[in-house]
Structure formats: C-alpha cells, structure tokens
C-alpha cells in the first residue's frame, strides 16, 4: 500500500547521497515608447540555446545578447503624457536633465524572437551588480511597448553553497532575478551603475563599483505547453530506474504515483499517516479518526505519539512532467542532503503579472534561466507555489526525499526551499499561496519529524550574515532573509510566515 516506502532509506539513514542517475537618465537609448524602427540583432549576438525533441519541435530556447556601453550624448526625449497613446510609457518613465552618468550599459530597442522571461547575467558569480537594471518589452504582434520595469539585481544569495560541486562547476555565472514579461518580440535594456555621490572631471557621476564584466541579457522562451498526458505506456515497475525513466525524473516518485504521472495525488491525513507508519514497520492506531482537514482526534497525544505521528495530509503536487520540464537541460544525476530540518520560504521576484494557467510556463522559464543562463545543475528551488495555491515539484530527485537545492546560500544542507511565484515587497501574497505553503510544510516536515512552530540549528556554509561553520538557531519555517541579508521573500510575504507556521502545525495535529 505504501506510496512513500521508497524514502525509507532517507528517513532511516543520515548518509548524504549523490545519486548517479527607469532609470530616469537620458541614455543613448530612446525613451519614447511609441513604435519606432528597431535594431535587428547581428548573427554574432544571436547566441541561442534550445533543445529539439525527436519530433523536431523546440520546447524552449534562450537568446543571449551582449550589452554595450551607453553614452549621454542623446538629447533628452520630451515627456509624453501616458494617456496620449496606448503605446506611451507610464508616468514612471520620466526623464531627467542630463547632468552626468555613472557607468552604464544597455541594449538598444530591437526586434527579437519571441520570449516571455528576461534576466541579465555576467561572467563572475562572485561579482555583484551594484546599480539598477531596467527592461522594456513589446507585446508580440503589436506596436505597444511596456513602461520600464525594474529587474531585481540581488540574486546571488539564491545559489549553491560555497565549496560544493555545483558551485565549483565552472559554469556558474552571476545573474539577476528573472522577470516574467509575457509573450514579447521586442526588447530594450539599460543597466546603470550605482553612483557614490562624487562627480568626475568629465562631469559624469563616479560609480561606486564598476559593472560586472560580460553583461548579457537573456531572453527565455518557455516553449509551448505540453499536451495532457497520463502515465507512460509499458512503464517499468516501481523501483526500476531505467535510463529513460531517470531522465524523465519520474522513477524517484514511483512510490507516490505511476511513472510518467503529471501529478502526485493528495491523500487524507489518515492515509498519509498509514503510509509513514508502514515505512517504519508500525501499524496505524485504530482509534485515529483524524479527518483530511488535519484536526487532531481526542486521543491523548502522549499516548499515541508513536502510532499517530505528527504529519499533515499529503497535498496534490504537480510533477516535473506535469509542468513540462525538459529533462535534457539539467544534470542527469541527483544530489541529496541528510535530512530536512528547516524550510526557507522565498519569492521568485519574477513579478505578479501572470495567470495561474501560465504558472507552468513561468516555471519552465525559471528552470531554463537557472540552468542555461545561470549555470546551475537544475532549478534551484525544491518546490514552487503559484498564486492559486497549486504546488509544483522543483529540483529533481523525489518530492519525499531530502533533495539538495540551490536556494539559500550557506544553508542548502538539511533544508528545502519553497518559492512562491511573484514579488511581495509591496504586494500582499495571495491567501491561497500562504495556505499551500502551510500544507506542503506540514507534510514534508512531518516526514522528518520536524515541528513547524519549532526552532532548529543549521550549520552555515558561509554567507553575509553568518560565517562558515557557525551553528545558527533558526525557525523551522524561516524566510530567506533569516539566513542571508536580503529582501527575499519580500516584506509582505515574510510577515505571513507566522501564520504559515501556526497553520502548518495545526495541519500536523499539534
């Protein structure tokens, strides 16, 4: 009966395993948002990566275009009222007098192949971009350009830990957070270095630090939605890892759902407990009458702690196949940590301008950006949650297993990362998303005996808050900013973590 029997080795063992399977400055970019001739990229600029399927289709691609220095020579563009034309920039796209410029690079407005997500990368992952990155895009098939949009530059803290094989692969690059812009076929970019308040002899502002070398803008096309599919025909029996099923990342979840399934179904709390007890060689207490909502029964907890473990009902989880992951992008093997003692909650900082039906496309785009643009082994997060409360499998390796992620620099070991799709510095997170975080943590932390309202200790792998090797006391459900000095997961989402902890504990029956 057990659907999670395959995780027995991880619950019983503490052996870490690696499996073999706008800117308001008059730059040399036009600030007029009406339709004007666009520059076509040269062949040298069209460094594009894609993966063709056997049928000849392309499930996604990345265009990488180099940024070049900007000059203050272009006259200031007159400000156009936003109501004068549907193509006009917003009132936030104002310009300033041309006093001076700090270091600046960009990409002139141009036509490109279709894309939906944008980010900026550079050569050295240890270099930080101190300044401001803004993009403007044109909706596909129209003459309408968006207003300038800020891209979150503080992204280096979402990464593999120092001294790990993933970090030392030689492929990792510095990167901004990705920004979802929707279906687009035109782009303009400007990157402004942060000035330190001084003015040089040439009248330009002196940049506090130079911009990183090798700046490129990455334009990601998530590809078409995969057709609805059920379990694979003639799939190998559970537990048999063939090359094909390992590449599809399905076999690691074979005890929870058929190989090739697009989702792992939800269970009641009683069914979840029965599964967990079976992995321990124990039996379910026949007096347990807990319903699927997670309310505890009247039997004293002290008398039934062994027979009725604290764990929430397993929620429905969309698998990697369900959101259309191209398994040929990531590294073929999986990497595990010893256990799951804590959860770090993030926001993706990719913006809130998406529909729930587009969430799989957003995730495919982030996945491709993490792997092809940033140089990571796989998507960084262990799970992702959309604004409607849907839960998605993230990094491959098995949803019930302690998969090593790349989400919280210095604290990826013995933890997992959940990203809520969106930006929550100023916007409130949807209640459905917070509830989904509570459901997911009640289940996953329950598998490893962790109390969502409790505290735990993690050893720092190194970061800007805690030195390497320091034992740090953290909430079992923490925000990214608890382990690293960052705005993530945004002030509004961070303020909801107390509620998530209490709800998660209640779902566990505490």
DSSP string, 107-166: EEEEEEEEEEEEEEEES-TT----EEEEEEEEETTSSPBPPPEEE----TTSSPPTTSTT
- Is residue 239 scored above 90 in pLDDT? no
Whether the CB-CB separation of 375 and 173 falls below 8 Å is answered with yes
For the segment 453-492, what is each residue's pLDDT rounded down to a tens digit?
999 999 998 878 888 999 999 999 999 999 988 899 999 9
Longest CA–CA separation in the chain, Å: 83
What is the rounded CA–CA span in Å between residue 4 and residue 10? 11
Report the alpha-carbon angle 305-417-412, nearest 5: 95
On the question of pLDDT at 356 being above 60, the answer is yes
The Cα–Cα gap between 333 and 241 comes to 12
Q: Residue 480, exposed/middle/buried by CB under 10 A (0-12, 13-18, 19+)? A: buried
Structure tokens at 508: 């566990």
Higher pLDDT, 429 or 75: 429
Is the pLDDT at 83 greater than 80? The verdict is no
What is the mean predicted confidence (pLDDT) over 84-99?
Answer: 36
**Closest of 450, 327, 318, 335 to residue 403, by C-alpha:** 335
Could you give the CA distance from residue 352 to residue 384 in angstroms, rounded to a whole number? Answer: 14
Among the ranges given (87-101, 117-131, 326-340), the one the predictor scored with the smallest mean pLDDT: 87-101
More confident call, 132 vs 157: 132
In our burial notation (b when 16+ CB lie closer than 10 A, e otherwise), range 126-143 reads: ebbbbbbbbbbbbeeeee
**Cα distance between residue 487 and residue 62, in whole Å:** 28
Q: Residue 179: name the closest of 491, 421, 493, 484 by CA.
A: 421
d(Cα 246, Cα 485) in Å, to the nearest integer? 37
Of residues 42 and 296, which shows the higher confidence score?
A: 42
Half-sphere exposure of 263 (CA within 13 A, CB side): 12
More reliable by pLDDT, 189 or 55: 189
- Tell me what pLDDT residue 311 has: 96
Q: Determine contact, residues 160/208, Cβ cutoff 8 Å.
A: no
Q: Can you say how many angstroms the Cα of residue 393 is from the centroid of all Cα atoms in its chain?
A: 11
- Residue 105 bridge partners (DSSP): 69, 191
Residues with Cβ within 8 Å of 494's Cβ and at least 6 positions away in sequence, in order, are 345, 424, 479, 481
pTM of this structure: 0.79
Q: By mean pLDDT, which of 10-24, 103-117, 152-166, 261-275 is the weakest?
A: 10-24
Identify which has the larger pLDDT, 401 or 295: 401
Taking residue 206's Cβ as centre, other Cβ atoms within 10 Å add up to 15
d(Cα 91, Cα 45) in Å, to the nearest integer?
32
- 81 or 228, which is more confident? 228
Q: pLDDT, tens digit, for every residue of 13-35?
A: 433 334 433 333 434 443 334 44
pLDDT (average), residues 431-448:
98
Q: CA 46 to CA 181: how far, in whole Å?
A: 20
pLDDT at residue 318, as a whole number: 98
pLDDT above 90 coverage of the chain, percent: 58
Write out pLDDT tens, residues 316-326: 999 999 999 99
Closest of 151, 150, 152, 170 to residue 160, by C-alpha: 170
């Amino acid at each position: 009966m057990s659907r999670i029997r395959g995780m027995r080795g991880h619950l019983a063992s503490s052996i870490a395993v690696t499996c073999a399977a706008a800117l308001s400055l008059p730059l040399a970019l036009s600030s007029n948002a009406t339709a004007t001739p666009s520059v076509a990229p040269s062949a040298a600029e069209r460094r594009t990566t894609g993966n063709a399927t056997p049928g000849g289709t392309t499930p996604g691609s990345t265009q990488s275009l180099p940024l070049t220095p900007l000059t203050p020579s272009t006259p200031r563009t007159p400000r156009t009222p936003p109501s004068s034309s549907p193509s006009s920039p917003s009132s936030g796209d104002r310009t300033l007098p041309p006093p001076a410029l700090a270091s600046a690079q960009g990409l002139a407005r141009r036509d490109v192949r279709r894309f939906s997500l944008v980010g900026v990368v550079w050569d050295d992952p240890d270099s930080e971009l101190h300044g401001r990155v803004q993009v403007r895009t044109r909706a596909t098939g129209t003459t309408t350009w968006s207003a300038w949009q800020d891209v979150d530059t503080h992204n280096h803290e979402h990464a593999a830990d120092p001294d790990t094989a993933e970090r030392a692969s030689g492929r990792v690059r510095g990167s901004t957070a990705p920004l979802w812009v929707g279906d687009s076929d035109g782009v303009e970019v400007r990157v402004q270095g942060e000035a330190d308040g001084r003015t040089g002899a040439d009248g330009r502002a002196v940049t506090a630090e130079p911009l990183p070398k090798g700046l490129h803008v990455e334009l990601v096309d998530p590809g078409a939605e995969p057709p609805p599919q059920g379990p694979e025909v003639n799939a190998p029996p559970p537990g048999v890892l063939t090359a094909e099923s390992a590449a599809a990342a399905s076999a690691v979840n074979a005890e929870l759902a058929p190989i090739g399934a697009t989702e792992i179904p939800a269970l009641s709390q009683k069914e979840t407990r029965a599964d967990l007890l079976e992995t321990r060689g124990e039996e379910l207490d026949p007096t347990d009458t807990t319903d699927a909502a997670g309310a505890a029964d009247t039997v004293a907890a002290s008398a039934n702690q062994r027979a009725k473990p604290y764990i929430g009902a397993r929620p429905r989880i969309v698998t990697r196949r369900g959101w259309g992951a191209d398994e040929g992008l990531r590294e073929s093997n999986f990497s595990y940590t010893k256990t799951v003692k804590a959860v770090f909650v993030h926001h993706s900082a990719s913006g809130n301008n998406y529909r729930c039906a587009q969430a799989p496309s957003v995730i495919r785009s982030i996945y491709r950006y993490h792997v092809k643009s940033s140089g990571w082994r796989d998507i960084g997060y262990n799970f992702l949650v959309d604004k409607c409360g849907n839960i998605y499998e993230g990094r491959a390796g098995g949803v019930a297993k302690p998969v090593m992620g790349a989400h919280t620099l210095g604290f990826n070991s013995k933890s997992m990362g959940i990203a809520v799709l969106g930006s929550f510095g100023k916007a409130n997170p949807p209640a459905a998303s917070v509830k989904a975080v509570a459901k997911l943590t009640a289940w996953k932390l329950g598998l490893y005996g962790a109390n969502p309202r409790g505290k735990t200790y993690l050893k720092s792998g190194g970061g800007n808050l805690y030195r390497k090797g320091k034992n740090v006391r953290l909430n079992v459900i923490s925000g990214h900013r608890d382990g690293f000095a960052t705005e993530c997961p945004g002030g509004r989402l961070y303020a909801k973590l107390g509620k998530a902890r209490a709800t998660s504990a209640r779902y566990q029956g505490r």
